[in-house]
A and B are shown apart, each in its own frame.
Chain A
Amino acid sequence: EVQLLESGGGLVQPGGSLRLSCAASGFTFSSYAMNWVRQAPGKGLEWVSAIVGSGGSTYYADSVKGRFTVSRDNSKNTLYLQMNSLRDEDTAVYYCAKGIVVAGRYYYYCMDVWGQGTTVTVSS
């Protein structure tokens, strides 16, 4: 069974840092692009970042570029999101989501498996 389990969320002060992790199982992790998507309380989904299977290319939303860094350790089947200079508006549930494969090609733009999310609260 394909599973994604996020961890690392919590309460942090504005300007602080936090690192999220996502442990993957049930699939060949190193082949798949992975994403972080967040959802502020009572709001819609917002794509945050993506990374290809090799880790060689990364992509970010303008709202987090320069503050967040996505990475992965394929030997540990784990995805990370390092979040620095956190702001109140970063408060959200953060989901880890697996990219799809179509006709043998791996894409990050569409996510077919999602974790249950980890909550990040930025507040003084």
Chain B
Amino acid sequence: QSALTQPASVSGSPGQSITISCTGTSSDIGGYNYVSWYQQHPGKAPKLMIYEVSNRPSGVSNRFSGSKSGNTASLTISGLQAEDEADYYCSSYTSSTTVVFGGGTRLTVL
């Protein structure tokens, strides 16, 4: 199972919006609404930000939103803040009953 494809890095200024893409296949993202997004600060454990494509767990800011079209999922962060600077990973359930992660995207807040 190949990793999902994410851009290595994205950047934005405070207050702006950014979108991180995550591309898979019909065997993972395209086949199921089981896409998740995680935020990881350096040296810390990942934190769940989005589940089932577009749902936010309790306590996650509504500045974070998710969507999916075909084999590509997206995470949008609006009103960028300094604390949003982190690595972001997408993941998906697969037809092989496994879970696959994306390679990760480093978000820099300028």
Contact = CB atoms under 8 A, between A and B. Distances in A.
Interface residues of A, number: 25
B46 A59 contact: no
A95 interface: yes
A115 B45 CA distance: 7
Contact of B48 (A47, A95, A110): A110
A97 B104 CA distance: 18
B99 A47 contact: yes
Chain B, interface SS category: strand
A104 to B, nearest CB: 14
B38 interface: yes
Interface size class of B (residues with CB under 8 A): 20 to 34
Interface of B: 1, 3, 34, 36, 38, 40, 45-48, 51-52, 57, 87, 89, 91-93, 97-104
15 contacts: A44-B87, A44-B101, A44-B102, A47-B98, A47-B99, A47-B101, A95-B46, A102-B52, A109-B91, A110-B34, A110-B51, A111-B46, A112-B57, A114-B46, A116-B45
